Chain A
């Protein structure tokens, strides 16, 4: 089944370990992580679309600055949209929303894939990568919040947009809300263990 392939085969976060910079810091709550995953996916799709559209007119030297301009305009549009419609989410992202511009996945996919293939293929690839990224980020966000904070915020900051506020409290005992997962070190260790675990499963399957 394809999802399994997305998650393990070429998942940008777990396998290629790309695009971690701006994302790990935001995954303290489940809602923020899947929102960030959505934002990155939308930008990825749009940027691949535009890049593959203009790939014939752009020669090799000025490729990087042009792509950067495209991506940063997209990000600014998203910023304006978010700051107008869901101010708390925009605030909680803080400096990490503009940082999506330098996210290695978007520029990476644009440079390596979109600039050489037809629009449909680059769109498919953007979708594949986007979903893989979204799934990975939300898994990390889920784990970090449930284990670290004992709660699961499905929709809180953007409640003004969707009008549905939902925060589930799962653990409240003294064992489980273990603040380690909220700290930055905990996130590193958690990610390391997840990637190690996936490697051992992949190795298990191949051999």
Chain B
């Protein structure tokens, strides 16, 4: 049980090992305040949709043998939860909503969310295992996002050559982080 959590957190980290969620990873990690809030919103969406998708898959899709409908149903579940998340953010956490702005609806197109749910289904985990896996992966997502936002703040003050500034140096740092995470 705990080995699933640790591997999901570090060894099979969602961003670094499975390449999921790079768009938002490069996008929102410039200031660490919105990196954290972005992470929390994503984890809320993932956990809630894992629960719902597991139930749908177990009691609707498999009995009626329409597993090819998985993609569509899961995407709709995620999209609806993102709308729910946006409403909550608008009402309760006004300032975070303002600072995150356009990145909130982007969670639907965040491959990490959909990827985690798909891995849960593919590995045919039971309910408890898939919840732990989702929790581990999202924590891994938030961890890497937070560390990376701190590193990018430091990279701002370096005098990197012009053609490598911004995205390329961020990718190289992420690559080195991925190599280190693979060895833990």
Contacts and interface: CB of A to CB of B under 8 A. Distances in A.
The short answer to whether A and B are in direct contact, CB under 8 Å, is yes
Contacts of A197: 163
Given A25-B18, A65-B76, A76 B176 contact: no
Interface string A83-106: 000000000001100110111100
A113 to B, nearest CB: 16
A185 B177 contact: yes
Interface stretch (A16-24, A142-150, A155-163, A164-172): A16-24
B122 A95 contact: yes
A183 B86 CA distance: 36
B46 to A, nearest CB: 13
A76 B68 contact: yes
Contacts of B155: none
A80 B68 contact: yes
Contacts of A203: 162-163
Contacts of B115: 21, 95, 99
Interface stretch (B47-55, B135-143, B165-173): B165-173
A17 B169 CA distance: 13
Given A22-B20, A199-B163, A200-B163, 15 more contacts: A17-B23, A20-B19, A68-B76, A68-B108, A72-B71, A72-B75, A75-B71, A98-B114, A101-B71, A102-B114, A104-B109, A183-B178, A185-B16, A185-B182, A186-B179
A24 B163 contact: no
Range of interface residues on A (Cβ < 8 Å): 35 or more
A69 B108 CA distance: 13
Contact of B23 (A18, A72, A193, A199): A18
B87 to A, nearest CB: 14
A64 B114 CA distance: 16
B101 interface: no
A interface secondary structure, majority: helix
A207 B69 CA distance: 52
Interface centre among A68, A99, A102, A193, by most chain B C-beta atoms within 10 angstroms, is A102
Contact of A25 (B19, B108, B110, B161): B19
Contact of A68 (B79, B110, B118): B79
A187 interface: yes
A187 B172 contact: no
Given A95-B122, A195-B167, A199-B164, A187 B175 contact: yes
Contacts of B177: 185
Contacts of B18: 25, 184
30 contacts: A17-B23, A17-B167, A18-B23, A20-B19, A20-B23, A21-B22, A22-B20, A22-B111, A25-B18, A25-B20, A68-B108, A69-B76, A76-B71, A79-B71, A98-B114, A99-B114, A104-B23, A184-B17, A185-B177, A188-B16, A188-B174, A188-B175, A190-B175, A192-B174, A195-B168, A195-B171, A196-B169, A200-B163, A200-B164, A203-B163
